[in-house]
Amino acid sequence: MGNLFLQEKENWLAWSIWGIVGAFVTLYVAMSTNTAHFIAGSAMGMLVLLTWWMQQTKRFDFGRAFKICFYVLLLSVLPAFLFVVVPSDDLNRFDLIFQSVTFLALSLLLCLICSWIARRPKQYY
């Protein structure tokens, strides 16, 4: 029957650990390659791995999965963005703003898709 009347509390420490591991992976990729495509790909790869795990446990509804996915993705990409992308001198301000807005739009779309995949199946009573 699932947790019909029980609200699960978020374990933000676990999601922060997922985000920190993603941040280390993304920062390593950012330091070694210094290209925006690989930085975004490594952060989103971590999100896909998290989505697979959430889909296997079947305990997450859509809103909760979206909140977790967006939090982990934000934590994963923030250090690489602050330490590698912003200080690089080859981007002017317009390119930086365009890449940031494009990445934000793509990450919201990916979070919506991953949340839809990770949601628990409907239960008929």
Domain assignments of the chain as residue spans, ordered by start = 12-118
Alpha helices by DSSP H, 3-86:
12-33, 36-57, 62-80
The dihedral formed by the CA atoms of 25, 30, 36 and 40, expressed in degrees to the nearest 10: 10
Pairwise CA distance, residues 85 & 64, whole Å: 30
102 or 123, greater pLDDT: 102
pLDDT band at 17 (very low <50, low <70, confident <90, very high): very high
Phi-psi region of 111 (alpha: psi -120 to 50; beta: other; left: phi over 0): alpha
- pTM here is 0.79
Return the pLDDT at 31.
84
49 or 119, greater pLDDT: 49
Give 11's contacts (C-beta < 8 A, 6+ positions apart). none
The string of pLDDT tens digits covering residues 50-109 is 999 988 887 888 888 899 999 999 898 888 778 766 666 666 777 777 877 888 888 899
11 or 109, greater pLDDT: 109
The string of pLDDT tens digits covering residues 86-102 is 666 666 777 777 877 88
Question: 67: exposed, middle or buried (C-beta count within 10 Å: 0-12, 13-18, 19+)?
Answer: middle
Return the pLDDT at 71.
92
